[in-house]
């Protein structure tokens, strides 16, 4: 079966009043049923991208569609397809947690009975049921975020746009949210921004890296790590003898530092085999795998 594209954009640009170019000709095809994680430094354009996709902002040029519906022309259809957790949500703090989720679910077009069911389901899921009758001003920051997230997910929309959804959540709630998102895998499409790379590792089918308004990489976690060009970093005690051994190993890069030789190798297995053959004491070697964090930092620096 051919892949179905949920979100598509081509040459999408956004210039804000005042001249900031937040998006510069972004083109993407985000597949249905996958979890797409958008990462990128502050100001990279992630929220702007989500705001255009969710019809809150108009692009300056280019086109964007959700299941073929144009974000500029088919706002009503799109609103029915999506759930949105904005980065800076408008929360009515005089409402109780129950009322907040309930009213937002009604606004999505659900009946009172369905909205009640959804509200109770998410209050329980996010461990807020005991606090359901408290007004939001009595809530902690993390709890307010959890309510914001619940109102986005309630009703299980076809496409979820979550802008830094787990910010401020304690580890237990974060795990609950991750598990919930993972359960939707294959059925719903999730587009989620985060600053947490462990979140990307845990959830992503596809990672989109934004930097300065452009998409600088798209692919799975492995493809990002591969961009570094090496698999392992090895630290070996510095000596003439070890230097001679290191010289015989195929490497990406190497450096001599105070008391050690550091080498970055493409083929970790092969490099370790060479070291074993040379009778190097393996317990004297520090081995580190290339990480997403390293690859990401490397990618966005300039
Ligand atoms: N309403 C606005 N008016 C003018 N400039 C804006 C506006 N909103 C965002 N910008 C600018 O557009 C750029 C992209 O901002 P955006 O909020 O999309 O970034 P982001 O990747 O979501 O960042 P963060 O990680 O901090 O949430 C930034 O330079 C920002 O200052
Ligand atoms: Mg943002």
Residues 37 and 145 in one domain: yes
User: In angstroms, how far is the first alpha carbon of the chain from the final one?
Assistant: 41
Instruction: Using the CB atoms, write b or e for 46-59: b if 16+ within 10 Å.
Output: bbbbbbbbbbebeb
Residue 137 lies in a domain: yes
Ion ligand 2 residues within 5 Å by Cβ: 46-47, 87
| Longest alpha-carbon distance in the chain | 78
Residues 237 and 198 in one domain: no
> What is the distance in A from the centroid of ligand 2 to the CA of 41?
9
CB of 48 sitting under 6 A from ligand 1: yes
pLDDT of residue 285: 93
Structure tokens given for 222? 């492995």
- Comparing C-alpha atoms, which of 256, 265, 252, 264 is closest to residue 237? 256
- Comparing C-alpha atoms, which of 39, 53, 3, 28 is closest to residue 192? 39
Residues 281 and 132 in one domain: no
Residues 106 and 180 in one domain: yes
Helix, strand, coil % (nearest 5) of the chain? 40, 30, 35
DSSP result, 198-221: HHHHHH-SEEEEEETTEEEEEE-H
Q: Which residue out of 43, 58, 87, 199 has the highest number of ligand 1 atoms within 8 Å of its CB and is therefore the one to mutate?
A: 43
Residues 103 and 51 in one domain: yes
Residue 224 lies in a domain: no
173-223 tens-digit pLDDT: 899 999 989 988 999 999 999 999 999 999 999 999 999 999 999 999 999
CB of 43 sitting under 6 A from ligand 1: yes
Residues 240 and 284 in one domain: yes
Task: Record the pTM.
Answer: 0.91
Task: Compute the distance between CA of residue 276 and CA of residue 243 in angstroms, rounded to an integer.
Answer: 15
**Eight-state DSSP code of residue 283:** G
Radius of gyration of the chain (CA): 24
Of 152, 186, 219, which one is at a domain's C-terminal end? 219
- Comparing C-alpha atoms, which of 207, 170, 212, 175 is closest to residue 192? 207
CB of 54 sitting under 6 A from ligand 1: no
CATH number of the domain where residue 150 is located: 3.40.50.300
Residues 163 and 264 in one domain: no
DSSP alpha helix (H) spans, the chain: 46-53, 75-81, 97-107, 112-125, 141-153, 171-184, 197-203, 221-226, 240-247, 268-277, 292-300
CB of 253 sitting under 6 A from ligand 1: no
Residues 51 and 174 in one domain: yes
Of 162, 184, 219, which one is at a domain's C-terminal end? 219
Residue with tokens 């989109």: 208
> What is the distance in A from the centroid of ligand 1 to the CA of 195?
15
Q: How many separate domains does the chain show?
A: 2
Of 219, 245, 276, which one is at a domain's C-terminal end? 219
**Nearest CA, atom 4, ligand 1:** 16
94-144 tens-digit pLDDT: 999 999 999 999 988 899 999 999 999 999 998 999 999 999 999 998 888
- Residues facing 261 on adjacent strands: 236, 256
Q: Which of 16-20, 89-93, 228-232 has the highest mean pLDDT?
A: 16-20
Residue 139 lies in a domain: yes
Q: Which residue out of 13, 18, 21, 22 has the highest number of ligand 1 atoms within 8 Å of its CB and is therefore the one to mutate?
A: 22
**What's the length of the chain?**
302
Contacts of 154 (CB under 8 A, 6+ apart): 83, 101, 104, 105, 108, 115, 118, 119, 121, 122
- The dihedral over CA atoms of 71, 75, 78, 84, expressed in degrees to the nearest 10, equals 90
Structure tokens given for 171? 């580890």
Residues 161 and 194 in one domain: yes
Residues 186 and 258 in one domain: no
> What is the distance in A from the centroid of ligand 1 to the CA of 146?
23
CATH number of the domain where residue 248 is located: 3.30.70
Residues 213 and 237 in one domain: no
- Residues facing 82 on adjacent strands: 159
87: pLDDT strictly greater than 90: no
CB of 22 sitting under 6 A from ligand 1: yes
CB of 131 sitting under 6 A from ligand 1: no
Residue 11 lies in domain: 5-219
**Nearest CA, atom 12, ligand 1:** 22
Residue 227 lies in a domain: no
Q: Are 284 and 236 in contact (CB under 8 A)?
A: yes
1: pLDDT strictly greater than 70: no
């Amino acid at each position: 079966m051919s892949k179905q594209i949920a979100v598509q954009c081509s040459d999408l640009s956004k210039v804000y009043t005042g001249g900031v170019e937040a998006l510069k000709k972004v083109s993407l095809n985000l597949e249905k049923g996958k979890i797409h994680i958008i990462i990128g430094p502050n100001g990279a354009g992630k929220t702007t991208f989500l705001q255009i996709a969710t019809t809150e902002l108009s692009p300056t040029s280019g086109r964007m569609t959700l299941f073929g519906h144009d974000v500029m022309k088919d706002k009503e259809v799109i609103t029915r397809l999506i759930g949105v957790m904005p980065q800076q949500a408008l929360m009515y703090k005089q409402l109780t947690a129950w009322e907040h989720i309930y009213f937002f679910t009604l606004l999505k077009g659900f009946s009172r009975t369905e909205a009640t069911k959804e509200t109770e389901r998410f209050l329980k899921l996010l461990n807020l049921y005991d606090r359901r009758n408290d007004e939001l001003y009595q809530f902690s920051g993390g709890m307010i975020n959890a309510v914001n997230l619940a109102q986005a997910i309630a009703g299980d929309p076809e496409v979820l746009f979550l802008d830094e959804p787990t910010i401020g959540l304690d580890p237990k709630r974060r795990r609950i949210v991750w598990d919930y998102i993972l359960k939707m895998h294959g059925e719903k499409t999730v587009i989620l921004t985060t600053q947490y790379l462990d979140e990307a590792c845990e959830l992503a089918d596809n990672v989109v890296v934004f930097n300065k308004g452009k998409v600088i990489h798209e692919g799975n976690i492995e493809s990002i790590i591969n961009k570094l060009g090496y698999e392992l970093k090895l630290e070996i005690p510095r000596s003439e003898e070890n230097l001679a051994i290191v010289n015989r190993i195929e490497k990406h890069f190497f450096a001599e530092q105070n008391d050690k030789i550091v080498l970055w190798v493409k083929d970790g297995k092969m490099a370790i085999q060479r070291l074993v053959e040379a009778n190097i004491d393996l317990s004297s070697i520090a081995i580190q795998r290339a990480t997403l964090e390293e690859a990401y930092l490397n990618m966005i620096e300039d």
